[in-house]
Chain A
Amino acid sequence: MSWGLAIWAATVAFGAAILAVTRPSAVHALLLLLAALISLGVGFFAMAANFAGAIQLLIYAGAVVAVFVFVVMTIDAGDEAMAAERELLRHAWRWPALIVGLSVVPVIFGIGGGAMGEGDPAPALASDLGLLMFGDWSAATELITLLLIAGMLGVRHLGRKLGPRLRERNPE
């Protein structure tokens, strides 16, 4: 367990995230998001959460981002679109920055200031995770599976081809 590496990886992820949410280009933002997710995965490995790190890399940084990539591939990323996106961003960031900034000081001094109790840095095993997820937490697991099924059905519904009657009702 190397806390130093974990902190470094998390810091990188934070920086990448800041950049990701401020880039005008969707492609750049997606790449930066990918960077943030991968460095988080590295951090997880550094904290001996091997299973979490593995699925972070495989599913999050792999599958989820791949879905994003498919979508981003379809959008227009030309200079005009970039200019339009910059124009949209020019003034819009002030109020959100101010309001989000409200939370920064208490987070730094509230969470960062107090010392957490001594930990018990014993590495956790993936087998324990399985026992927990399908044992005590089975209800939560069931819930999240239901959520995934609901998501799948929702996507199926949203992605359907509109028939002539429905198209009339939804002219776009």
Chain B
Amino acid sequence: MLAYLLLLVPLPPLGGFLLLALDPYRLDRRPVLALSLAAGIAPLVLFLPLAIAYFTGAVGDMIAPAFTLNFGQYEVALAMQLDPLSAIGASTVTVVASCVMIYAADYMSGARVADLRRFFALMNLFQAGMLSMVLAADSIVFFLGWELMGLCSFFLISYNMTSPRAFAAGQKAFVMTRIADAALLAGLLLLFLEATSVRMDELIPAGLAAEESRAAIIAVLLLVGALGKSAQLPFQTWLPTAMAGPTPVSALLHSATMVAAGAVLLARFAPLIEATPGVAAATAIAGVATALFGALCAIAQTDVKRLLAYSSISQIGYMLLAVGMGAPGVAMAHFVIHAFFKSLLFMAAGVLSHAGGGSTAIEKLRGTAYVAPISFATYTVGAAALAGFPILSAGWWSKEAILGAAVEAGPFGQFLWLVALGGAALTGVYAYRPVLCALRKPLHDAPKGHESWLAVAPLIFLAIMSVLGGYLVEPIIHEMGGHAPHAGLGIEVMGALAAITGLIGSVAVTFIPSWNARIKRARRLRAGMQMDAIYYAFLVRPYRRIVRLLSGRDGRLGKHIGEGPEAQEGGMGDPVGTATVVFGLWLARVVTAPFMPDRFDTVIMRGAREAQRAGLWTRRLQSGRLRDYALGFALGLGVLVILGWGMTWG
């Protein structure tokens, strides 16, 4: 019975979304805030007792079936489950989401009521999506939640509807994740065909039992799905631009939960990844490459939100590395810690940038430490966790676990460890930059600002979690069935040294003018190695060219597929669809030309005339003449008598 409580967990946010989106009551500002807050925190209230009971061992794994349908051998069983992964994931999501919702209630308070309603409706929907994905016991609910998050992220990034940049960013995020989602969907469907069931507990064994080549394809597809959602190389470009959304959106969607969904996916299907060594290696390489890439790009950023975006990319790279090294438990531990400190960083940065005049540029943060001291302090704690400040911060423990797992994995792992260690040092460099910048004496004396408790309370809570979270690392790893890596003192010291080096580097970069100037010059790096431009040149432009080629300059498709401005200027739609239409039109022309005096029609009409003639002929039977009917009667009698005679013959 307790299991059915699971089904209730994603419902309050969903209900909140429905109420806010449909808005049957024309709610005012305060009711909107109250409703969305209640809907946002309710999952925590519902799930926390369950999670505590689970972690203390009072209840075991359980599955709450919601709906089951059988099609022959195929079983579609929608359900939610409580197992180590979903318990950890859902606890994290509920806690972080509650904090973000409380923060958002303060942060968004200046918005118009309509915007507020839209914002909170989507935030609630997003929560529902993430919770159902984490708790899902079958691939359908999982994918549904996954897609719901993608949709919400599109709307939330484009929240500022007057800004074309925000729209472009939303579109970019949507399209990029969509490409990966297609791969994920394909992977899940292939798994379904293997397992003839959608339940996770049957999908994974079926995937393991599958033929080697097929298992590899499935693992690759799942990996691509995770890469896209988690903004890993080569899909990373959407995340930095996604910072066009409001700060709570970044804090919830693009730091702690949604981008980490890829890590959850990989942790969920970790056995399949591990079963294919090539894919596991690819996961690890993609992870470590992204970690290094993100760290490098983050150093060059001049905008604090973009810096944090690149740091998200980088940190999730570490999670992927852990999964690739065969330690999904370690990845989940980092997922939890990262969710805490990254949402903290985003939210604190939001407060600081408000204090600094509204700009998110790092330079403008100068002196804000004195304007908003509590936020600054929490930001510092978060930055320490991000950089993995030895012993004191939670980030240190989880990152050490990842590095240790890499070291334990053999020579290949040790190579990756080296790269990851470099990444960790670079993390230190960028993590403290906003902190140091905020510490500098302000150029103008600014009055000490007022920090709203509604905004600061979650920051303090998350800061505490970012420090004490270190105690959670080992229990989480054990809960996930892994073991905490013990890589030896030397390795740990190396890790600590890397973190300290990062701090020193950060000080150097901030305070040595020539280094600082060098960072400002590093435009290529700042633009994420120009990946956007490369994609534009090699993918988007040829794509548009193909579309234009297919639809023709005169918009000749216009009269077939619409008269909109896009059709007029040659169409900017989808080339596959356009190609299909063009091919269809060509085919229709070629095939129908020989039949222009429509022969099919002629044949059919001849058939109709024949039928009419047959009808006229048949009608003669109904002459109305008594004699003819008598004749028919005689004929029938004769046939019957002959038949009877034949049957009694002899």
The answer to whether A and B touch directly, with their CB atoms under 8 angstroms apart, is yes
Contact, CB under 8 Å: A110 / B634: no
Partner pick for B641 among A92, A106, A114, CB 8 A cutoff: A106
Interface Cβ pair total, 8 Å cutoff = 34
- Tell yes or no: A102 within 8 A of B by CB: yes
Please determine whether A106 and B634 come into contact, CB atoms closer than 8 angstroms: no
A104 to B642, CA, bound (A): 9
**Once the chains are docked, how many angstroms separate the CA of A92 from the CA of B625?**
13
Knowing A102-B638, A103-B637, say if A95 contacts B631 (CB, 8 Å).
yes
Q: Cβ of A100: which chain B residues have Cβ within 8 Å of it?
A: 634, 638
With an 8 A cutoff between CB atoms, is A115 at the interface? no
Q: Given A92-B627, A95-B631, A99-B631, are A110 and B637 neighbors across the interface (CB < 8 Å)?
A: no
Q: B623 at interface (Cβ–Cβ under 8 A)?
A: no
Question: Which residue of A92, A95, A96, A110 is within 8 Å of B645 (Cβ)?
Answer: A110
* Chain B interface, DSSP helix/strand/loop, else mixed: helix
B644 located at the interface, meaning its Cβ lies under 8 Å from any Cβ of chain A in the complex: yes
Q: Which of B631, B638, B648 has the most CB of A within 10 A?
A: B638
Q: With an 8 A cutoff between CB atoms, is A109 at the interface?
A: yes
CB pair B635–A107 under 8 Å, yes or no, is no
**B635 lies within 8 A of A106 (CB):** no
* Contact-residue bracket for chain A: 10 to 19
CB distance from A113 to the nearest CB of B (A): 9
> Hey, which chain B residues are within 8 Å of A106, CB to CB?
641-642, 644-645
Asked if B22 lies at the interface with its beta carbon under 8 angstroms from chain A, I say no
Contact B645 A109, beta carbon cutoff 8 Å: yes
* Cβ contacts under 8 Å, A109 to chain B: 645
B639 part of interface (Cβ distance < 8 Å): yes
- The residues of A that contact B630 with a CB separation of less than 8 Å are 96
B641 lies within 8 A of A107 (CB): yes
Interface size class of B (residues with CB under 8 A): 10 to 19
Nearest residue in B to A107 (C-beta to C-beta)?
Answer: B641
Which residue of B627, B639, B644 is within 8 Å of A102 (Cβ)?
B639
A114 to chain B: closest residue by CB: B648
A65-105 Cβ-contact flags toward B at 8 Å (1 or 0):
00000000000000000000000000010011001101100
In the complex the two chains form, is A96's CB within 8 Å of B644's CB? no
Name A109's closest neighbour in chain B (CB-CB). Answer: B645
Query: In chain A, what residue has the closest Cβ to B643?
Result: A106
**0/1 per residue, B609-649, Cβ < 8 Å to A?**
00000000000000000010011001101110110110010
Main secondary structure of the interface of A (DSSP, over half): helix
Q: Quick one: closest A residue to B642, CB to CB?
A: A106
Which residues of B284-304 are within 8 A (CB) of A? none
**Contact (A110, B644) CB under 8 Å given A92-B627, A96-B634:** yes
Query: Of the candidates B627, B631, B638, B648, which one forms a contact with A103 in the assembled complex, judged by CB atoms under 8 Å apart?
Result: B638
Q: Which residues of B lie under 8 Å from residue A95 when comparing CB positions?
A: 631
In the bound complex, CA of A92 to CA of B638 (Å):
19
Smallest CB–CB gap between B335 and chain A, Å? 92
Chain A residues whose CB sits within 8 angstroms of the CB of B637 once the complex forms: 103
Bound CA–CA A85/B486 (angstroms): 124
Cα–Cα distance between A144 and B226 once the two chains are bound (Å): 91
Q: Chain B residues with Cβ under 8 A from A110's Cβ?
A: 641, 644-645, 648
A100 to B630, CA, bound (A): 10
The contact string, 1 if C-beta is below 8 Å from chain A, for chain B 24-35, is 000000000000
Query: Shortest beta-carbon distance, A146 to chain B, in Å?
Result: 25
- B625 to chain A minimum Cβ distance, whole angstroms, is 11
User: How many Å lie between the Cα of A103 and that of B638 in the bound state?
Assistant: 5
Cα distance A96–B645 in the bound complex, in angstroms? 21
> Residue on B with the closest CB to A96?
B631
Residues of A within 8 A of B645 (CB): 106, 109-110
Bound: A95/B628 CA distance, A: 10
How far apart are B374's CB and chain A's nearest CB, in angstroms? 107
Task: Please give, as numbers and ranges, the residues of chain B lying within 8 Å of A102 by CB-CB distance.
Answer: 634-635, 638-639, 641-642
A106 to B648, CA, bound (A): 11
Complex: A92 Cα to B648 Cα, angstroms: 34
Alpha-carbon separation in the docked complex, A96 to B627 (Å) = 9
State in angstroms the CA–CA spacing of A110 and B634 once bound together. 18
- Docked CA distance A107–B641 (Å): 8
Are A99 and B634 in contact (CB-based, < 8 A)? yes
Instruction: Give the residue name and chain of the A residue nearest to B635 (CB).
Output: A99
CA distance in complex: A102, B645 (Å) = 12
B168 to chain A, nearest CB (A): 85
In the complex, chain A residues whose CB is within 8 Å of the CB of B627: 92, 96
Complex Cα gap A45–B619 (Å): 49
A98, chain B: closest CB distance, angstroms:
9
Nearest CB of chain A from residue B230's CB, rounded to whole Å: 89
- Give Cα A102 to B640, complex, Å: 10
Q: Distance in Å from the Cβ of A2 to the closest Cβ of chain B?
A: 30
Please, which residues of chain A bring their CB within 8 A of the CB of B635? 99, 102
A143 shortest CB reach to chain B, Å: 23
Q: Which residues in B have some Cβ–Cβ distance to A below 8 Å?
A: 627, 630-631, 634-635, 637-639, 641-642, 644-645, 648
Q: List 23 A-B contacts (CB under 8 A).
A: A92-B627, A96-B627, A96-B631, A99-B631, A99-B634, A99-B635, A99-B638, A100-B638, A102-B634, A102-B635, A102-B641, A103-B634, A103-B637, A103-B638, A103-B641, A103-B642, A106-B642, A106-B644, A106-B645, A107-B641, A109-B645, A110-B648, A114-B648
Using a CB–CB cutoff of 8 Å, the interface residues on chain A facing chain B are: 92, 95-96, 99-100, 102-103, 106-107, 109-110, 114
Other than the given A103-B634, A110-B644, 13 more pairs (CB < 8 A) read A92-B627, A96-B627, A96-B631, A96-B634, A99-B631, A102-B635, A102-B639, A102-B641, A106-B642, A106-B644, A106-B645, A107-B641, A114-B648
The 7 closest A-B pairs by CB, nearest first: A102-B638, A106-B645, A110-B645, A103-B638, A103-B641, A106-B641, A99-B634
